[in-house]
């Protein structure tokens, strides 16, 4: 047998959200009867303009895509309020950008800081590059960052600090002043993950004007409705972006991904409607879930809600299983570092899907 790298041998597999196909096969439910509220996607589906653009370009898939996605980057600069030189686009979503950061910055035994609970892919990916995770604290009671725990975690070996706002899976925002405190406390790169910023109505792009050690991470997988096309991007200073472009897989962004991303950005009506429905659905679900005596729901600025289910007497694994049997996918959060066995994360659906979910939940824990 070949010897795999020690870090790979010791790596705990990443636990992804469940897919409709997987649940349809396992429980014998027709795919069109399954409601997916587990991966924070856009419940409206993709933009109609994106769909039509694919049809137009299908015959071009025999050719390599354009390596630097110039047209897309130009449109993206206008969407994000920045310049093309400040942007990099990744072809396996924001996840690819995290990997590119590992390739660009992490030497074996360098440290990176993650306040927990937060998005698990940072830890999973940077460990493969030899990075050592240092865990700071997300304050669940306030649903915000414990900024002192981040400052206390800094060391001479810190290379990257991840600040996710709104935070996945808790939905809370990080105060701008706390982000500035972290930026001013270190020369390490501060990655502000804004995968869900559209639902919060705030962003931190302006901070790039004064801080060279900031990178903002974004994705097309959430409000922009293209999770299956795998498109992510980052905004930072041109110096770092140019190094990241050197190591990024050259053709990772497929032709169809570039085309659909561009068409979606041009579909302002779709983006507006998706954001509006996401926020309405979140508020509906927050109210409906808060009415259950046995549930404790965290207030959220994103398109999902974190729910403490311990008073139902069920662990999250059992409750999510009962929901799956009835065709509803939500996220069992027991694999999230920093959460125990009693949390589920519910993504927004359409209002009809939300109502169906609440009815089924009543059946189970009512
Ligand atoms: C906070 C956060 N960052 C990044 C990502 C990765 O998104 P992508 O689908 O673009 O890889 C996700 C996906 O769920 C996320 O929740």
H or E, element range at 183: helix 176-184
Q: Is the peptide bond before 276 cis (omega within 30 degrees of 0)?
A: no
Q: Is the CB of 168 under 6 A from ligand 1?
A: yes
At residue 189, the 3 state secondary structure works out as strand
Instruction: Pick the closest to residue 176 from 141, 203, 142 (CA basis).
Output: 203
CB 219 less than 6 A from any atom of ligand 1: yes
DSSP SS3 for 69: coil
As a whole number of angstroms, the distance between CA 74 and CA 83 comes to: 8
Which phi and psi (to 5°) does residue 325 adopt?
-55, -30
Q: Answer whether CATH 3.90.1150.10 is correct for domain 6-45+269-365.
A: yes
Residue bearing the CA closest to ligand 1, atom 5: 94
Enter the pTM of the model: 0.97
How far does residue 222's CA lie from ligand 1's centre (Å)? 8
Give the domain ranges of the chain. Answer: 6-45+269-365, 58-266
291 CA distance to ligand 1 middle (Å): 30
Does 3.40.640.10 match the CATH number of domain 58-266? yes
DSSP string, 22-42: HHHHHHT--GGG-EE-SS---
Closest CA to 274 of 47, 72, 39: 47
Tell me the helix, strand and coil percentages in the chain, rounded to 5: 45, 15, 35
Which residue reads 């049997």 in tokens?
A: 325
Residue of 92, 119, 165 with the most ligand 1 atoms within 8 Å of its CB, for mutation: 119
Q: Give the H/E segment covering residue 112.
A: strand 111-116
Distance separating the N- and C-terminal Cα atoms of the chain: 54
Angle (nearest 5°) at CA 161 between 178 and 215: 85
Distance between alpha carbon 151 and the CA centroid of its chain, in Å? 24
Q: Is the CB of 164 under 6 A from ligand 1?
A: yes
Render each residue's pLDDT in the chain as its tens digit; 366 residues: 999 999 999 998 888 888 999 899 999 999 999 999 999 999 999 999 999 999 989 998 999 999 889 999 999 999 999 999 999 999 999 999 999 999 999 999 999 999 999 999 999 999 999 999 999 999 999 999 999 999 999 999 999 999 999 999 999 999 999 999 999 999 999 999 999 999 999 999 999 999 999 999 999 999 999 999 999 999 999 999 999 999 999 999 999 999 999 999 999 999 999 999 999 999 999 999 999 999 999 999 999 999 999 999 999 999 999 999 999 999 999 999 999 999 999 999 999 999 999 999 999 998
């Amino acid at each position: 047998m070949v010897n795999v790298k020690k870090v790979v041998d010791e790596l705990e597999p990443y636990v992804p959200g469940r897919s409709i196909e997987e649940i349809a096969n396992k429980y014998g439910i027709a795919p069109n009867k399954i409601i997916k509220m587990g991966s924070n996607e856009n419940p409206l589906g993709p933009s109609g303009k994106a769909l039509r653009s694919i049809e137009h370009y299908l015959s071009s898939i025999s050719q390599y895509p354009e390596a630097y996605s110039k047209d897309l980057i130009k449109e993206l600069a206008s969407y994000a309020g920045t310049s093309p030189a400040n942007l990099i686009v990744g072809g396996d979503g924001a996840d690819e950008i995290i990997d590119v950061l590992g390739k660009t910055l992490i030497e074996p035994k360098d440290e990176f800081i993650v306040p927990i609970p937060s998005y698990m892919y940072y830890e999973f990916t940077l460990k493969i590059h030899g990075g050592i995770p240092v865990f700071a604290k997300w304050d669940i009671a306030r649903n915000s960052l414990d900024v002192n725990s981040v400052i206390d975690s800094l060391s001479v070996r810190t290379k990257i600090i991840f600040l996710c706002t709104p935070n996945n899976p808790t939905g809370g925002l990080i105060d701008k002043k706390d982000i500035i405190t972290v930026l001013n406390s270190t020369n390490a790169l501060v990655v502000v993950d804004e995968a869900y910023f559209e639902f919060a109505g705030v962003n931190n792009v302006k901070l790039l004007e004064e801080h060279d050690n900031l990178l903002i991470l974004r994705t097309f997988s959430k409000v922009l409705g293209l999770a299956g096309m795998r498109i992510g991007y980052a905004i930072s200073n041109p110096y770092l972006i140019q190094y990241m472009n050197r190591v990024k897989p050259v053709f990772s962004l497929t032709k169809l991904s570039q085309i659909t991303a561009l068409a979606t950005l041009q579909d302002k009506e779709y983006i507006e409607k998706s954001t509006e429905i996401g926020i309405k659905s979140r508020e509906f679900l927050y109210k409906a879930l808060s009415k259950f005596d046995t549930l404790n729901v965290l207030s959220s600025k994103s398109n999902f809600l974190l729910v403490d289910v311990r008073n139902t007497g069920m662990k999250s694994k059992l409750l999510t299983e009962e929901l799956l049997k009835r065709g509803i996918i939500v996220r069992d959060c027991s694999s999230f570092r920093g959460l125990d066995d009693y949390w589920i994360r519910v993504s927004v659906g359409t209002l009809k899907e939300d109502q169906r979910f609440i009815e089924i939940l009543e059946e189970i824990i009512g």
